[in-house]
Structures are given as C-alpha cells and as structure tokens.
C-alpha cells in the first residue's frame, strides 16, 4: 500500500507530529543552503528510505508520485561522512539510502571511438553524460559482504551516484575495448575522450 502524500505547505516539513500516512512536504522551488550551512547534528530522521533498486519509501510504504520523489531528490545531499540528507534553506533531515540514491536504467550513444558520447538515464528520468564531470567508478555495493567484486556507478552530482542496472552494464560491455591502465590490461569504455574501466585492472 503506497503512502498518502501531502503536497501542501512550503519547504520540507520536518515536524514530528505529522500523521503516519503522510510524508514530509516539499517546496516546488527548493534551493540548497550555503556549504557552511547547519551543523552536522542538526535535523532529524525523516523516516524516508531509498531502496537498493532506487524506490523511495516513507515509513516502509512506497511513494508512488514521481513528481514528489523528484522534488525530494532535488534537495538530496550527501555529506562527507557518507550520510544522506534532504536540505532546504530552513530545514534538513536525514534519510536512509541502502546503496546509491539513483539507478541508471538506459544507455544512449552518440559517435564512435574515443570521442563518442555515452549518456545514461536514471530512474528519475535525468540524463547524465558520462565523462570527466560524471565518471564511472567501481566500488563494492553498500552492505555487500567482503569478497564480493566491485560494481560500476556513475556520479550524478556532488557525490550522489547512480548504480548501473545490469542491462545497461551489459550494453557497455558490448561497447568495451581493452586498454592498459597503470601497466595492467583493463576492459572499459571511452566517453568524452576519457577511458572508464568496467572492472578493476588485472581482474
């Protein structure tokens, strides 16, 4: 059963007396505060969680309204300690993220060779160009036991990542070529003149 979403009010409401079937409210024009904003311990847990598959939940119930999810995502910030917060000019609150806040679900390609342009579409319909500003990185998924191999992620903005869905990863593998990285053979893809590994060199 999906959560009943209240779209009224201004800003992200973090009052503690909200009914359990309402998610925090979101402004239609959110802006982020300056970098020297509220202290690290300001705000509270909002009861929001982003599942590993990119689904947003409030108190365990899926949030079905995409426009509300996009509003919340637009004020999402990741702090230096790895914690995730929704931040407006006047309030902020912590949310839980199981792995990455976004999932890359579609791949587009323009051109060929080293100067080709690869783009991915996230589950929130945002197109992200893979390149120096939005690199592919390899890391072990959050919560995965030691010994498991790394997975590919693309940076969407300011440390917020999208995990590459398996079909997207397989499409990239089809476009991949071998290069020598740090003296070791590595398979990866080119985009905007940069080479991005799809597995660890030598693996």
pTM, rounded to two decimals: 0.78
Q: What confidence tens digit (pLDDT) does each residue in 150-169 have? A: 899 999 999 999 999 999 99
pLDDT at position 85 is: 97
Domains and CATH numbers, the chain: 1-98 (3.10.540.10), 102-197 (2.30.270.10)
Which band of pLDDT confidence, cut at 50, 70 and 90, is reported for residue 187?
very high
Name the more confident of 123 and 182: 123
Q: Give 61's strand partners.
A: 58
Lowest mean per-residue pLDDT among 27-36, 118-127, 163-172? 27-36
**How far apart (Å, rounded) are the C-alpha atoms in residues 137 and 152?**
6
Q: Where do the DSSP E strands lie in 51-168?
A: 56-58, 61-62, 76-78, 84-87, 92-97, 102-110, 117-122, 127-129, 136-139, 151-157, 160-164
pLDDT greater than 80 at residue 19: no
Q: CA 55, CA 14: separation in Å to the nearest integer? A: 21
Residues 77-112: tens digit of each pLDDT: 999 999 999 998 888 999 999 999 999 999 999 999
């Amino acid at each position: 059963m999906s959560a009943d979403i209240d779209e009224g009010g201004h800003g992200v409401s973090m009052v503690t007396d909200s009914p359990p079937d309402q998610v925090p409210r979101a402004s239609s024009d959110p802006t982020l505060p300056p970098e020297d904003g509220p202290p690290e311990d300001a705000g509270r847990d909002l009861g929001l969680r982003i599942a590993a598959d990119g689904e947003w939940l409030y108190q365990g119930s899926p949030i079905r309204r995409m426009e509300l999810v996009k509003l919340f995502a637009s004020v999402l910030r990741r702090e230096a300690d790895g914690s995730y917060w929704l931040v407006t000019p006047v309030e902020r609150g912590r949310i839980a993220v199981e792995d990455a806040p976004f999932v890359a679900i579609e791949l587009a390609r323009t051109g060929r060779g080293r100067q080709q342009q690869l783009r991915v579409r996230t589950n929130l319909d945002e197109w992200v160009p893979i390149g120096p500003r939005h690199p592919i990185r390899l890391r072990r998924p959050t919560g995965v036991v030691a010994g498991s191999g790394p997975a590919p992620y693309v940076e969407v903005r300011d440390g917020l990542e999208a995990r590459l869905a398996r079909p997207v990863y397989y499409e990239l593998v089809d476009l991949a070529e071998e290069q020598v990285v740090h003296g070791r053979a590595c398979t990866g893809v080119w985009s905007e003149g940069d080479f991005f590994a799809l597995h660890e060199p030598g693996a």
